[in-house]
C-alpha cells in the first residue's frame, strides 16, 4: 500500500487542482491531501473560501481519499501522522525539493518527494485558475 | 439500474452543490449531471467560469458518473438521450414540478421528479455559496 500526500491552498477549485490531485493519486494507492489553513498562507493573498469549506471541497474530488487541514504551527505534524510513502508536489509549487527532503529527514520522516506533471499546453491555455477567476469577478461584478 | 439526472449552473463549486449531487446520486445507481450553458442562464447573472470548465469540475466530483453540457436551444434533448428514471431537482431550484412533469410527458419522457433535501441548518449557515464567494471577492479585492 503506497500512501501519497499532496498539499496546497485549493481556494476556488479548478481543473489544474484536479490534474495535480489525479497525478498524485496515480503515484500510489491512497491519496491524502493537506489543505493549508488561511493563517499559514503567507506567500500570496489569503484564500477567499474558509478553511473547513476548502477541506470539504477537496474531500469531494474523485482522486482524494482523505483531506486534512494543516497544522497551524508545524507543517510536519500532519505528515508525521499520515506517514506517507510519497509527497507529491505540484509542478509549480515553490518548494526547494532538496531543502524539503533535508527537513523531512531531520524529523525522521522517510518518504520520496516527487513532482506532478503540468497540465498539457492546450488545457493550461483555456484554464481559468483561482487568480483568473478572481480577476474576472473583480472586472465584471465591481461597480 | 436506476439512472438519475441532476442539473444546474455549478459556477464556483461549494458544499451546497456537493450535497445536492450526493442526494441525487443516492436516489439511484448512476448520476448524470446536465451543466447549463452560459447562453441559457437567463434568470441570474451569467456564470464566471466557462461552460467546459464547469462541466469538467462537476465530472470530478465523487457522486457524479457523467457530466454533460446542456443543449443550447432545447433543454429536453440531453434528457431524451440520457433516458433517466428520475430527475432530481435542487431543493431551491425554481421549477414548477407539475409544469415540468407535463412538459416531459408531452415529449414522451417518462420519469419521476424528486426534490433533493436542503443542507442542514448549521451547514447552510456557514456555507459560502457562489454568490457569497463572489460578494466576498468584490469586497476584498476591488480597489
Contacts of B28 (CB under 8 A, 6+ apart): B1, B2, B3, B4, B85, B86
For residue B19, is pLDDT > 80? yes
Average pLDDT over residues A20-31: 98
Angle, vertex CA A66, rays to CA B125 and CA A8, nearest 5? 80
Which grid coordinates are listed for B96? Answer: 414548477
Tens of pLDDT, residues A60-97: 999 999 999 999 999 899 999 999 999 999 998 877 88
Do A18 and A83 meet the contact criterion of CB atoms below 8 Å apart?
no
> Helix, strand or coil for residue B116?
coil
Substitution target from B49, B55, B60 for chain A, most A beta carbons within 10 A:
B60
| CA atoms lying within 13 Å on the CB side of residue A105 | 8
Torsion angles phi and psi, residue B50, rounded to 5: -60, 155
Contacts of A18 (CB under 8 A, 6+ apart): A61, A63, B56, B57, B60
For chain A, percent of residues with pLDDT exceeding 70: 99
- Residue B22 pLDDT level (bands cut at 50, 70, 90): very high
Q: Do A15 and B57 touch (CB under 8 A)?
A: yes
Range 13-72 of A in CB contact (< 8 A) with B: 13-15, 18, 45, 48-50, 52-53, 56-57, 60-62
Tens of pLDDT, residues A99-143: 888 999 999 999 999 999 999 988 888 888 989 999 999 988 876
3-state secondary structure A97-124: HHHHHHHHHHCCCCCEEEECCCCCHHHH
B31 sits in which H/E element: strand B30-35
For residue B143, is pLDDT > 70? no
Q: Which residues of B touch A57 (CB under 8 A)?
A: 13-15, 18
| CA A139 to each of CA A12, A15, A44, A142, B85: distance values in angstroms, whole numbers, following the listed order | 17, 22, 20, 6, 42
Annotated binding site of B for ATP: 9-10, 14-17, 92
- Residue A50 pLDDT level (bands cut at 50, 70, 90): very high
Tens of pLDDT, residues B79-122: 999 999 999 999 988 778 888 889 999 999 999 999 999 999 88
- Strands (E) across chain A are located at 3-8, 30-35, 66-69, 86-89, 112-115
- Residue B78 pLDDT level (bands cut at 50, 70, 90): very high
Do B28 and B56 meet the contact criterion of CB atoms below 8 Å apart?
no
* pLDDT score recorded for residue B44: 83
Contacts of A69 (CB under 8 A, 6+ apart): A34, A35, A37, A51, A52, A55
Positive or negative torsion for Cα B57, B60, B61, B67? positive
> Which domains, ranges and CATH numbers included, belong to chain A?
3-141 (3.40.50.620)
* pLDDT score recorded for residue B141: 83
DSSP-assigned letter for residue A92: T
Q: Do B45 and A12 touch (CB under 8 A)?
A: no
- d(CA A18, CA B55) in angstroms, rounded, equals 13
Whose grid coordinates read 513532482?
Answer: A115
| CA atoms lying within 13 Å on the CB side of residue B115 | 12
Angle, vertex CA B9, rays to CA B85 and CA B30, nearest 5? 30
Tens of pLDDT, residues B23-34: 999 999 999 999
* pLDDT score recorded for residue A143: 61
What global pTM score does this model have? 0.94
**Average model confidence (pLDDT) across chain A:** 93
Instruction: Tell me if A14 is assigned to a ligand binding site.
Output: yes
Amino acid at each position: 500500500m503506497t500512501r501519497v500526500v499532496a498539499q496546497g491552498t485549493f481556494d476556488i477549485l479548478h481543473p489544474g487542482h484536479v490534474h495535480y490531485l489525479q497525478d498524485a493519486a496515480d503515484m500510489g494507492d491512497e491519496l491524502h491531501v493537506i489543505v493549508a489553513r488561511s493563517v499559514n498562507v503567507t506567500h500570496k493573498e489569503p484564500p477567499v473560501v474558509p478553511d473547513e469549506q476548502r477541506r470539504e471541497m477537496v474531500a469531494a474530488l474523485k482522486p482524494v481519499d482523505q483531506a486534512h487541514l494543516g497544522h497551524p504551527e508545524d507543517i510536519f505534524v500532519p505528515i508525521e501522522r499520515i506517514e506517507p510513502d510519497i509527497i507529491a508536489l505540484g509542478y509549480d509549487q515553490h518548494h526547494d525539493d532538496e531543502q524539503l527532503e533535508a527537513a523531512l529527514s531531520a524529523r525522521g520522516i522517510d518518504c520520496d518527494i516527487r513532482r506532478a506533471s503540468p497540465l498539457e499546453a492546450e488545457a493550461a491555455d483555456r484554464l481559468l485558475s483561482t487568480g483568473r477567476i478572481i480577476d474576472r469577478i473583480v472586472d465584471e461584478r465591481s461597480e
